[in-house]
Structure 1
Amino acid sequence: MRIVQQQEAQYLNIGFNHAGVTLWELWLRYYSLGGDASEPAVAAHLAGESALPGIQQQILHVALSELSAEATPQSGAGSDPFAAGQTRILGIAPEPPSR
């Protein structure tokens, strides 16, 4: 695995550990967004044991961001620490929560 991929997998693992969701919940959201890696492949990626292709890794980041946002009550701008990292990794700005 390349160094950049290792860093992104490590960052994703940190976000996963703080999100308070299960691997099954993460994988199910990832799969529902179009991800095609198996649950064991996602687990291996989170552990830094293997790499997912770029688009699959991005889908996994989006899935985790969504789950994290659902699990954390929105208290205004900057309340989702994973969203800031998602912006850095994916190069996109998170959408503001709809009210």
Structure 2
Amino acid sequence: MAVPGDEDEQRQGFRLAFEAAPLTLEQIWIKYFGIGGRAGLTEVHAYVYGALSLPPIERDVLAHALNESLNTLGVNGRRASYSQAINPSPDEGAPGTN
């Protein structure tokens, strides 16, 4: 069973969003690589299908590549999640906190 916020949960969310997307894994990988992802296409494929682990930063870059691609295409629906919630805390200067 997946622990909330763990790699298996993030992988499952990515895979669900990917399978609903009008994109190939190669298209997502090209975007991922272009924004700084370091894993090869074979490694990404292995990660998506549960045969390989990726560090949190690589999983997040991959999720961002998919989400950004979906946004660019104007696709509504499921998005890939990140390894951590990205919400600024009040002491980080969020709007309306100063």
Question: Which TM bucket (shorter chain)?
Answer: 0.7 to 0.9
Higher RCO, 1 vs 2 (CA within 8 Å, ≥6 residues apart): 2
2:72 counterpart residue number? 70
Aligned residue for 2:20, secondary structure, equals helix
Task: In structure 1, list runs of 5 or more residues that go unmatched.
Answer: 74-78, 94-99
Contact 1:19 1:67 survives alignment (8 Å): no
Residues 67 and 90 of structure 1: CA distance in aligned 2, closer, same or farther (over 3 Å): farther
C-alpha RMSD of the superposition: 2.1
Q: Which runs of no fewer than 5 residues in structure 2 stay unpaired? A: 88-98
TM-score by length of 1: 0.73
Inter-partner Cα distance in structure 2 for 1:64 and 1:56: 12
Distance in 1, matches of 2:66 and 2:34, equals 12
Q: Distance in 2 between matches of 1:41 and 1:18?
A: 21
Paired-residue identity, %: 25
Equivalent pairs counted in the alignment come to 84
